[in-house]
Structure 1
Amino acid sequence: MENRGIIPAHRIALQHLDRVAIKDSHGSHTYLDVLLKAIKLSNMIKSSIGLEKNQERIGFLCPNDSTYVISQWACWAAGHIAVPLSPVHPPSLLGYYVKDCDAALIIASQSHSQLLNAVQETVGQDIKSVILEESWQQTINQNVTPTQLKSILCDTKPMEFYHNSDAMMLYTSGTTGKPKGVLLSHKNIDAQVRMLIEVWEWSKKDVIVHALPLHHTHGVINALLCPLYVGASCIMLPKFDSKAIWENFLNTNVSQEEKPTLFMGVPTMYSKLLSHYDSTYGETQRKREYVKASISNNFRVMISGSAALPEPVFYKWKAATGIEIVERYGMTEIGSVLSIPLEGERRPGYVGVPSPGVSIRLAEFQSSPLGSKANYQILFETSYDQFSKDYANDKVVGDLLIKGPNVFKCYWNKPEATAKDFTADGWFRTGDSVQFDNGYFKILGRLSADIIKSGGFKISALEIETHLLGHPEIADCTVFGIPDVTWGQKVAAVLVLANPEMSIDLIALKQWCKERMAPYIVPSEWRIYSELPRNALGKVNKVEFAKVAFNNNPGSSKL
């Protein structure tokens, strides 16, 4: 990967001012339009928290449209750390993020002003805020001379600032059950984006349909910053909607240059898109042939990540569209470090080879599995530069370790958690068991049974258990994932009621959960037990118990 200086996205925009950066429900927005609004907002940020401040955490609650990019770029232009917040999360969870990162300011769209008020109440103190009126979402055709633009840019940080400063904090759930703030520097983001530009051969001619959440690395780094780094266009949909996505896939009301060339999704998205295809386009041969011809002629790549893609989905998608989905592997802490090469074999269930700049080890730990002092044996080691087809006959299974400029800086204010996830010699421990087989890597699963992968999200079972144990009618509980064709895993909970003679209202319980948890972590499957099979240490063997509890066991009762 070419070695160059760190140039944040809002500065790269100067190379593509007249091109369309974002298309959303409000219209088309050029790079110039987004940049000028971002600089205007950056000045509002500085006026609000002080011109002398640097590297403050700025939370922002924006819909999936141009205001998200404007807010992100504004944080960077002002020299601060962007903390994207999801509007689908309940105020209690958003309040935790705001308090944990010690946000100096929250930017919110007008449509989320009530949610902002609820977050303020949860935090228990007034936090400075900037409300973006609806005019921020509208397209404004602005003419600026080079001299005027140079003068405007004088109000932003100089290029040298970004070489050693932090850029963004994304929250993820760990095995402790508490979400951790993953701090990414501008160098980290630059490395993560540029390696994908090279792997997936991004160019300014590309157009991507974007329907991913924007508080996760998949939606922010892979699907948004990659196109914005090269001057491509991003069609931002308000949310995932199968009908709207297919309409964009097959849009005949735009020029050939405006037609989508890329799509990224999680396996659940592809499964739901196939269901819509079957009911809308799959009924006649003529429709099926039209869809296949349109997709295969216009799209150069479709990518799946955040969870394992079921093999049937891979083959059904290929049959419907003519496209073999590219699978990749990554984490918030490291970006997408493994990907099927565009010119390589698309092998279902495998996530390919190392990305540029990434070094990989498969290891076997010989002492405690936790902490930087754990000793380990290197079973296999390679990197993008060293990777060779000579490995074709090798087959190794081990814990996946990663090193490179893409690896995050730290967990915010959690030095012990940071130290635990790195080896003594500086390698990041992903927590995944990985197999190298016939030239490709394959993810076997989490080393911990407490992480559930559902619909592209990585969910902490311990976090859910903590919430459930706060319910007055629940005495004990355990949570784990059970296999599901559509979601990969479904969140399942086994409860022990405080009063065994009473029942519990499932509808009321689900509503109680939704008021306290993100919607995608609320359990969808429930069982009642008189007691849980805990060992002498008070632990439940979740892998074995899941097989029993959700296999029509007469010792349990369904909710």
Structure 2
Amino acid sequence: MAWNYRPSDRLLHVLPLHHIHGTVNAILTPLFAGSSIEFLFPFNATAVWERFAAPFLPSPEPNRKPITFFTVVPTVYNRLLSTFPSLDARTQEVAKKGISPENLRLNISGSAALPTPTKKAWSDLSSGNVLLERYGMTEVGMALSCGLPFASRVDGSVGWPLPSVEVRLVDTETGEVINEGEELDKDGKERDGEIQLRGPTIFQEYWRNEEATAKELVTGDDGKGRWFKTGDVAVRRHISSIQTSSEKDTSQNWANGPMYFIRGRKSADIIKTGGEKVSALEVERELLSLPEIEEAAVVAVPSGKWGQKVGAVVILKKGAEGKKGAWGPMDMRRALKDRLARYKIPQVMKVVDDIPRNAMGKINKKVLVNAVFVDETSGDEM
């Protein structure tokens, strides 16, 4: 209902099949709705562009209808964007038509944080199509989503609880439930809270693992059932300028109230440095907005002085140079000084040729820290 799957949809499937994104979002749900699915394996960016373009060529192939639904991970969008300039002029022209809003009615990004520059670049290329972000996981399916109106797809937000899903934030420091209207502390700072979920779509237990079930499912005080502790941290914000529904589309009435913004995994993306908490995802978005950086991962580097310090692992774009040659840590700090509070700016940075990701585009940050910052000492702290 929330994404309006329909029999007329044609979904292009390029995802792995061992993950909920590829199985539930891109196979089971569209099949229940009567949609058509085309599989493209293995993934090839040029082949994807050619498929988007196919219906609009002068002599289109039979049965090559426009793709109307596309749901992938951010790394796929980045690959498509980087490959597009290598296409011939005719393919570029018709491929842009294929991903325009009048043909590709819904383009979704999920399973990892969407960099704002990627979202903007896709919108520019597609004549205004806006990527929709959502939040879910294996145990719960889809739990939060932005709405179908473009205006509801706010940068960095995963939107609102989907129909039938209950969501609460539990303060990561005090363990208190953050009720609506209590999003700021006494100093006016946003309160981080672990996302906890409840509802008929949430799993009941871990199969034959009573210990994990007892650890991750907590009984609610209202007697209405248990809450699942997701391990993900978010803040909740009121965005007053958004018009999320209309009289013509009552299916979007769920998309209202304060929106949720993911700060990251409690275990890997919330960095505690010198008494302050830093969202790795926030810093990554700012790094990726810099013209010199191709990819970035922000991690917690152990520190005797600060507890943890903010570290950045980056891949530079070809030709990236600073004032004294190769773009380095001081260039990074100068570029971020007007974008981030001082304590959020990475204290250490490593330039690499590759940042390992799994099939869903996710990074194991603990492994990355051990591999990249193994020789770091407290001497490089500011």
User: Normalising to structure 2: TM-score of the pair?
Assistant: 0.60
**How many Å separate the matches in 2 of 1:521 and 1:307?**
6
The answer to whether structure 1 residue 237 and structure 2 residue 3 are counterparts is: no
Distance 1:523 1:447 in 2: 14
- The counterpart of 1:422, out of the listed 200, 211, 217, is 217
Partner of 1:330: 136
Partner residue in 2 for 1:279: 86
* Paired position in structure 2 for 1:265: 72
SS of 2:163 mapped into structure 1? coil
- AA paired with 1:302? N
Q: Distance in 2 between matches of 1:325 and 1:295?
A: 11
Counterparts of 1:377 and 1:526 in 2: how far apart (Å)?
32
Shift of 1:519: 11
Q: Compared with structure 1, are the counterparts of its residues 319 and 446 closer, same or farther at alpha carbon in structure 2 (3 Å cutoff)?
A: same
Residue 445, structure 1, aligned to residue 264, structure 2: yes
Please give the alpha-carbon distance, in whole angstroms, between the structure 1 residues aligned to 2:359 and 2:98: 37
CA shift in 2, pair 1:482/1:211, >3 Å: farther
Structure-2 residue corresponding to 1:351: 158
Of 203, 208, 212, which residue of structure 2 is paired with 1:408?
A: 203
Does structure 2 retain, via aligned residues, the 8 Å contact 1:205–1:257?
A: no
Q: What TM-score does the superposition give when structure 1 sets the normalisation length?
A: 0.42
Q: Write 1 or 2 for the structure with the bigger share of helix.
A: 1
Check the 8 A contact 1:403/1:427 in 2, yes or no. yes
Q: What is the aligned partner in structure 2 of residue 222 from structure 1? A: 25
Output one character per residue of 1:247-301: Cα deviation in whole Å (capped at 9) or x when no partner: 21111235688321010110011000111112215xx5x7654432332131101
Give the Cα separation in 2 of the matches to 1:280 and 1:379.
50
Preserved CA contact (<8 Å) 1:361 1:381: no
Q: 1:271 is matched by which residue type in structure 2?
A: N
Cross-structure match for 1:389: none
Give the alignment of 1:480-559 within 5 angstroms: 483=313, 549=374
Amino acid at match of 2:261: K
Equivalent position amino acid for 1:398 in 2:
G
Say what the alpha-carbon RMSD is for the aligned residues: 4.0
8 Å Cα contact 1:302-1:324 kept in structure 2: yes
Q: Indicate the structure (1 or 2) with the bigger Cα radius of gyration.
A: 1
Deviation at 1:340, TM superposition (A): 0.9
Letter in 1 for 2:259: Y
Please point out which of 379, 385, 395 is paired with 2:178. 379
Q: CA deviation at 1:380?
A: 2.7
**How do 1:458-477 and structure 2 match up within 5 A?**
none
Q: Deviations over 1:54-112 (max 9, x none)?
A: xxxxxxxxxxxxxxxxxxxxxxxxxxxxxxxxxxxxxxxxxxxxxxxxxxxxxxxxxxx
Which residue is equivalent to 2:147? Answer: 341
Q: Is the 8 A contact 1:364 1:399 kept in 2?
A: yes
Looking at structure 1, the residues matched to 172 and 194 of structure 2 have their Cα atoms a distance apart, in angstroms, of 8
In the alignment, the residues of structure 2 paired with residue 238 and residue 364 of structure 1 have an alpha-carbon distance, to the nearest angstrom, of 43
Distance in 1 separating the partners of 2:236 and 2:113 = 16
Instruction: Give, as a single letter, the amino acid of the residue that structure 2 aligns with 1:362.
Output: L
Q: Any residues of structure 2 matched to 1:13-412 within 5 Å, and which?
A: 198-252=1-55, 253-254=60-61, 258-280=65-87, 288-296=92-100, 297-322=102-127, 323-343=129-149, 344-364=151-171, 376-380=175-179, 396-412=191-207
Instruction: Give the count of matched residue pairs.
Output: 267
Residues 502-549 of structure 1, C-alpha deviation per residue, up to 9 Å, x if partnerless? xxxxxxxxxxxxxxx99989989999xxxxxxxxxxxxxx6xx88955
Distance of aligned partners of 1:408 and 1:200 in 2 relative to their CA distance in 1, 3 Å threshold: same
- Give secondary structure in 1 for the equivalent of 2:152: coil
Instruction: Give 1:405 shift.
Output: 0.8
- 2:324 corresponds in structure 1 to none
